[in-house]
Amino acid sequence: MKRAVTYAVFLAMMTGIPVSCEKSKKDDNIVPEDFKVGMSDAISRPDLDKKKGLTLEVDGNTLYNYLRTLVGVGEMSADMVNEAITSVRELKIEGPMEFSYTSTYDGRIKDVHVMAGAYYGKDQWEYGMYIDDEDGSRAFQLFWNTNPVKGVALMIPANFNRNTQVHTRSVLKIEYGEEGMNIAGLDNPLEKYMIVSVVNLDVTGSNYASKIKLFAGKRGDVVYIRGNTIHPTATLIDETRTGGICWTFVAKNDVEKDIAVARVALPPVDLDDLTHVWTVYSLKNVLTAEVQKAYSDLSPEDLDLVVSAVTANADDPAYFSGSTGFTSSGTSVPSQEGFTADFIDITGLAPFIPAVVNEMEINLAYE
């Protein structure tokens, strides 16, 4: 899986749990082997230069490529949790038990409690697992069924490793299933899906994301994506803008062909209705409105030139390919194999409601 080795090493550092590539000869392990839906570089690149953020040239090309970073951060969060689960499998858990181990990274004792018939919220699960730091702080918990695999994982990275320097208040939640979820616009159910939720991300600049919610569901080679990221202090061109921006998007990603198509809207974080999300708040319309406000002192002719320059690559939808990322938008469909009429049709997908994501909280279970 893409970037698996890199994230395995990273999680070994984060958690202090050894990561091994060897499998037990007799595997009665009850912990799931996988808890993630992977995406390709075309739409997910967390290693892009995030320092640039939205502070350089603000146009369709820059903002569409920035979407790959946002999706990538959501996928990286899922990778962190997934690799933690994979690492926990190395502890060879075969049923309810309690034990402790010493983290090889921060040198602290971690206490593990595995039980049958655990509850999270109102739902009862076949198994539940809690991992606490030696001071009693909850670091990780997992609730799951084994057949078909379905569950919820929650993680506080800073409690896995007290030497963590970034996102020390962040909480991650992954909901995962292999039971055939149906979504609008599909004739057949998905093979597997995940919903990634992240809150309490650190302030890293004026355009930082404080919360993330990302859905990814796979059928065949195609991953169907919808998501929102909350940027409470972000601005684009109009620096007087207040109230923040919710990056709101849907996409399809053909993982094998490494191509993607996406729609992006930039509504306020408190938008509670999606009726006009692809019209009033489309990327092109938002950029047009901001240019017209920020450069209102220009002549109509000059203003039109600025609008045309900024929105030249901001049409809907956007097309992506491999490491290049954004290639074109609107009616300029790439000639590359895979960009069929069926693939680029994403009208049936809907994002989450911005206001709901903005108000999202993640509560861990304390039995």
**Mean pLDDT in residue range 117-129:** 93
Tokens encoding 68: 């790959």
Residue 322: DSSP 8-state: G
Residue type, 353: I
* Nearest alpha carbon to residue 43 among 218, 210, 234: 218
pLDDT at 101 (0 to 100): 87
pLDDT digit string, tens, across residues 11-47? 444 444 444 444 444 568 899 988 899 999 999 987 6
The pLDDT > 70 percentage for the chain reads: 88
Domain extent listing, the chain = 4-358
CA distances from 202 to 199, 231, 286 (A): 9, 11, 27
Are 34 and 82 in contact by the 8 Å Cβ rule? The answer is: yes
Among 30-39, 44-53, 89-98, 192-201, the minimum mean pLDDT is found in 44-53
Residue 255, pLDDT score = 97
Tell me the average pLDDT across 105-117.
91
Distances in Å between the Cα of 223 and the Cα atoms of 31, 39, 108, 330 are 25, 7, 39, 21
pLDDT at 54 over 50: no
Judge whether residue 165 has pLDDT over 60.
yes
Judging by DSSP bridges, how do beta strands 123-133 and 192-199 pair with one another? unpaired
Phi-psi region for residue 107, left (φ > 0), alpha (ψ -120 to 50) or beta?
A: left
pLDDT of residue 26: 52
Give mean pLDDT, residues 262-283: 96
Per-residue confidence band for 168, with pLDDT thresholds at 50, 70 and 90: confident
Say if CB 267 and CB 246 are below 8 A apart. yes
pLDDT value of position 56: 45
User: Does residue 9 register a pLDDT over 70?
Assistant: no
The DSSP 8-state label assigned to residue 40 in this structure reads -
Q: Considering only CA atoms, which of 254, 233, 234 is closest in space to residue 334? A: 254
Query: What pLDDT is attached to residue 365?
Result: 81
pLDDT of residue 142: 96
- For residues 222 and 39, what is the distance between their CA atoms, to the nearest angstrom? 9
pLDDT at 51: 41
pLDDT of 362 above 90: yes
pLDDT grade, residue 185 (50/70/90)? low
Report how far residue 139's alpha carbon sits from residue 129's, in angstroms, rounded to the nearest whole number: 11
Per-residue pLDDT, 6: 38
* 272 token code pair: 């509670």
**47 contacts: CB under 8 Å, gap ≥ 6:** 72
**DSSP annotation string for 192-248:** EEEEEEEE-PPP-STT---EEEEEEEEETTEEEEEEEEEETT--SS-TT--S-EEEE
Residue listed under structure tokens 């970073």: 69
Mean pLDDT of the 71-92 span? 87
Rounding to the nearest 10 degrees, give the CA dihedral for residues 294, 299, 305, 311: 30
Looking at residue 269, its pLDDT comes to 96
Beta bridge partners of 126: none
Q: Is pLDDT at 277 greater than 50 in this prediction?
A: yes
pLDDT bin (cut points 50, 70, 90) of residue 80 is confident
Angle between helices 60-89 and 283-294 (to 10 degrees): 130
- DSSP 3-state of 133: strand
Q: Tell me the residue type at 2.
A: K
The number of beta carbons lying within 10 Å of the beta carbon of residue 169 is 11
Lowest-pLDDT range of 120-134, 165-179, 277-291:
165-179
Quote the pLDDT of residue 14.
43
